[in-house]
Amino acid sequence: MKIDLSGTTALVTGSTSGIGHAIAKGLATAGAKVIVNGRKQLKVDEAVAALRAAVKGAVIEGVAADVSTAKGCASLVDAVPDVDILINNTGIFEPRDFFDIPDADWQRFFDVNVMSGVRLARAYMPAMLKRNWGRIVFIASESAIMIPKEMIHYGMTKTAQLSVSRGLAELTRGTAVTVNAVMPGPTMSEGVETFVKDLARKNGQSVETAAANFIKEHRPSSLIQRFAKVDEIANMVVYVASREASVTNGAALRAEGGLVPTIA
Ligand code: NAD
């Protein structure tokens, strides 16, 4: 199978770093025109330049917009009125004891992790249905189905993404549009690297030891017993976004190294 996305336009939210950046690179490598998004213009410009340098002949554009707000989403849609592939990747996470999480954090997590995807799907999906082709992928998490007790608010948003994703897939009946969710497990993105480095500093360990211990202690059911690399997650997402993934619709696909111990 050779994935060829030439002729398509893909928008990846939160793609100035981490998993989103790897997805943007993967889609560009497969021939899609890619729109990079982040909140700060400078970061967006840097990411666009990095992708143009990494993928020969790639067509990359960037739009700075905060997708956690209605205004930010509207400005993004103004700048890019139509896409064939929408990857709702933007997401925040922070371990915090349930009893210390204020209302404002619950709302903020919901706005960033859920409403961003809701608003962008509402804007872009009607044209996909009309054209009879399109791909929407929500980057959820294994935390959607194994709620982490150290960040229940995060788990709640990831479960909500699966619900929205499956619901939207129901609206594609009889068309060639698909809506799916991908559930990464622990992945060494920039965001997670910062978290692991803090952990290493606190415990007086090397980053490698802190990473290995984290998996052993907090994610013992992982079959790969390591953090995934961002490219490993991107591979799954590029496949789901491809023309070849034509009968996978309404699914919540695992890319979590076997961490979830159930068969289905
Ligand atoms: P990251 O923090 O490394 O990168 C997140 C990106 O989103 C950054 O480019 C950031 O600038 C951008 N961003 C944040 N808020 C934004 C906003 N309001 N508007 C626009 N851009 C914004 O994160 P990551 O680890 O790569 O995570 C990406 C996605 O993958 C998230 O949805 C996360 O929940 C999910 N995920 C990550 C892991 C993991 O272990 N890294 C595991 C499962 C799921």
Q: Which domain holds residue 200?
A: 188-227
CA gap 121, 151 in Å, rounded: 26
Half-sphere exposure of 88 (CA within 13 A, CB side): 35
In contact, 122 and 74? CB cutoff 8 Å: no
pLDDT tens digits for 11-59? Answer: 999 999 999 999 999 999 999 999 999 999 999 999 999 999 999 999 9
All residues at 6 or more sequence positions from 33 whose CB lies less than 8 Å from its CB, including other chains:
8, 9, 10, 59, 60, 61
Distance of CA 105 to the CA centre of its chain: 20
- pLDDT grade for 135, boundaries at 50, 70 and 90: very high
Q: Looking at ligand 1, which atom is closest to the CA of residue 188?
A: 41
Same structural domain, 211 and 126:
no
pLDDT tens digits for 222-257? Answer: 999 999 999 999 999 999 999 999 999 999 999 999
Same structural domain, 155 and 209:
no
Q: Is 124 labeled as catalytic in the residue annotation?
A: no
Same structural domain, 139 and 214:
no
Averaged pLDDT, 173-200: 95
Same structural domain, 16 and 111:
yes
Same structural domain, 183 and 251:
yes
CA gap 248, 118 in Å, rounded: 20
**Residue 261, domain member (yes or no):** no
Same structural domain, 154 and 201:
no
Same structural domain, 110 and 235:
yes
Same structural domain, 164 and 222:
no
Query: The domain spanning residue 168 has which CATH number?
Result: 3.40.50.720
Nearest CA to ligand 1 atom 10: 14
259 residue type, one letter: L
**Residue 2, domain member (yes or no):** no
**Residue 264, domain member (yes or no):** no
> Choosing from 154, 185, 241, 257, which is the catalytic residue?
154
Same structural domain, 62 and 112:
yes
Q: What residues are in contact with ligand 1 under a 6 Å CB criterion?
A: 13-14, 16-20, 37-39, 66-68, 89-93, 112, 139, 141, 184, 186-187, 189-192
